[in-house]
Amino acid sequence: MLRNSKIVLHSRPHGLPVRDNFSLVSDGIPIPMEGQVLVRIDLISLDPAMRGWMNEGTTYISGVGLGEVMRAFSAGQVVESKHPAFKKGDWVSGLLGVQAYSCLSGDYLSPLDLSLVPLEEHLGVLGMPGMTAYFGLLERGKPEQGNTLLVLGASGIVGMTVGQIGRIMGCRVIGTAGSLEKGQFLKEICGFDEVILYKTEKMSERLREYCPGGVDILFDNVGGSALDSGLAALARGSRVVICGAISQYNESSFSGPRNYMKIVTARATMSGIIVFDFQSRYPEAISTISQWLKEGKLITRSDIYEGLENFPGTLNKLFKGENFGKLLLRVNHD
- The residues of the shown chain that bind a copy of itself, judged by CB under 8 A, are 59-60, 228, 242-243, 245, 253-261, 263-265, 267-274, 277
- In the bound state with a copy of itself, the residue whose beta carbon lies nearer, of 195 and 273, is 273
Q: How far is the CB of 322 from a copy of itself (least distance, A)?
A: 23
Q: What is the rounded CA–CA span in Å between residue 193 and residue 178? A: 16
First-to-last alpha carbon distance for the chain, in angstroms, is 13
Q: How far is the CB of 254 from a copy of itself (least distance, A)?
A: 5
- In the bound state with a copy of itself, the residue whose beta carbon lies nearer, of 255 and 288, is 255
Query: What b-and-e string marks burial along 180-204, b requiring 16 or more CB atoms within 10 Å of the CB?
Result: eebbebbbeebbbbbbbebeeeebe
Q: Residue 119: which region, alpha, beta or left (left: phi > 0; alpha: psi -120 to 50)? A: alpha
Q: How far is the CB of 71 from a copy of itself (least distance, A)?
A: 16
- In the bound state with a copy of itself, the residue whose beta carbon lies nearer, of 179 and 225, is 225
Q: At residue 161, what is the residue type?
A: T
> What residue spans of 201-261 are helical by DSSP H?
203-210, 224-232
Q: How far is the CB of 239 from a copy of itself (least distance, A)?
A: 10
Query: What b-and-e string marks burial along 6-39, b requiring 16 or more CB atoms within 10 Å of the CB?
Result: bbbbeeebeeebeeebbebeeeebeebeeebbbb
- In the bound state with a copy of itself, the residue whose beta carbon lies nearer, of 121 and 220, is 220
Q: How far is the CB of 255 from a copy of itself (least distance, A)?
A: 7
- Secondary structure class of 192 (helix, strand, coil): coil
- In the bound state with a copy of itself, the residue whose beta carbon lies nearer, of 159 and 183, is 159
- Residue 100's alpha-carbon distances to 47, 97, 235, in angstroms, are 18, 9, 48
Q: How far is the CB of 201 from a copy of itself (least distance, A)?
A: 23
- In the bound state with a copy of itself, the residue whose beta carbon lies nearer, of 23 and 269, is 269
